Amino acid sequence: MGKIILVTGGQRSGKSTYAEKMALDLSGDNKCVYMATAKVWDDEFAKRVALHKQRRGEQWINIEEEKFLSKHNVAGKVVLVDCVTLWSTNFFFGISTSQENESSGEKGNVVKRSLEAVKDEFDKFTQQDATFVFVTNEIGLSGVSENKIQRQFTDLLGWLNQYIASKADEVYFMVCGIPIKIK
């Protein structure tokens, strides 16, 4: 039977570094799978991705997958998914863009459709017998945005984080580089 661990916190709270160390500790002498979900949007973000890659060594099997994690067989491995925020962004903007381009009536709420799609993919992926460490951002701690898209995405990620946390065996909240076990 697999195991699910969720590591959450704000930007630059130490989530990825902590999750990487945890995954390596859990894997023993075996290589871990680093499932990178980022879509590179611009040069500044490309530099962030490059820094993440530099930090990882030979003990990682790197897979770049923006959406369909379940198409990769990771049975028997420790898998780090970094990160849920970017992964759900790929679904959200994919559905949002396709919805805008459809001219035949209302095709459903973009948040609801995105949430259903990501939850479905999460369930398919975690059916494999593996240890999963998911990294996500906690973006709902601040005020309500004036931007409609940002409010919609905050709703999506908040509900998705709750869903993953409900399925997780362990949940950690990162504050200033310090992990706090909350489940």
Catalytic residues: 52
CA distance 5 to 80: 9
Q: Where are the alpha helices (DSSP H) in 32-147?
A: 43-55, 84-101, 110-125
Q: Is the link from the previous residue into 83 a cis peptide, with omega within 30 of 0? A: yes
CA distance 179 to 167: 20
Q: Which of 88, 71, 83, 87 is nearest to 20 (CA)?
A: 83
